[in-house]
Amino acid sequence: MQPEPRTSAASDRFQRTPDLEVALRSGLDTLDLPQPDETVARLLAYVGLLAKWNAVYNLTAVRDPHAMLVQHVLDSLAVVRPLRAALDLDHARIADVGSGAGLPGLLFAIVCPAAQVLSIEPVGKKTAFQKQVAAELALTNVEILTSRAEAVSRPTDLVISRAFAALADFLSACSGLIGPGNLVAALKGQRAGIEAECTALPPGWQVEITPVSVPSLAAQRHLVLMRPGPPRPCA
């Protein structure tokens, strides 16, 4: 593992700022996803660690911890409730593909402690960060692999990504993780772009596109759910 970066005074200050907790709790309430104090503390600790490591390793282009809270944490957690409506997320075997700084996989591990999360990311500095987060937050339900998705074959219930480019490429890269009963989910932006990607999907997939509202974020967000089955137009 790469050495842990030194903590900057700025990241310490943001980590202790009370309004960051207020913003997180408000966002979680808006998402109808209230969490116990211990979970809130872990989510805030994740933001603090991300800000700390980002100063050295450039894990994300987002620099401000408040923006990290909205654009990374709340953006990832905004799909928890629709995913819970689609499968037993709280007890699922989840593979997060191209997980970057552990988004959304590590956050799912925090809010769904009975789930088993496999976080797959090819860049070593990013998996080093994830391993530090898992160690400091005592996340025993996470396995972190420094690997490309194409090289991994595991049984899963849910395969998810918020960073892959095209849906067809996502399905191709994850073939070793996808079985007959799988749900495959992608976090995407504007609907028009998603519908264009649907035309390039291989046959045998049903697609559902659900708009997602992220607190304090004006950009369009959609959750794309794909299941093996008779092909039909994007819903």
pLDDT at 164: 83
Residue of higher predicted confidence among 11 and 26: 26
The residues, ordered by sequence, that sit 6+ positions from 136 with a Cβ below 8 Å of its Cβ are 45, 49
Q: How confident is the model over 202-230, as pLDDT tens digits?
A: 988 999 999 999 999 999 999 999 998 77
Average pLDDT of 163-181? 92
Average pLDDT, the chain: 91
| CATH fold of 82-228 | Rossmann fold (3.40.50)
Average pLDDT of 73-97? 98
Domain residue ranges of the chain, discontinuous segments joined by +: 9-74, 82-228
Residue 133 near residue 107 (C-beta atoms within 8 A)? no
Q: How confident is the model at residue 3 (pLDDT cuts 50, 70, 90)?
A: very low
Q: How confident is the model over 105-135, as pLDDT tens digits?
A: 999 999 999 999 999 999 999 999 999 999 9
pLDDT exceeds cutoff 80 at 10:
no
Cβ-in-10-Å burial (0-12, 13-18, 19+) of 96 comes to buried
pLDDT at 165: 81
The residues, ordered by sequence, that sit 6+ positions from 38 with a Cβ below 8 Å of its Cβ are none
Place of tokens 């390793």: 57
pLDDT at 184: 97
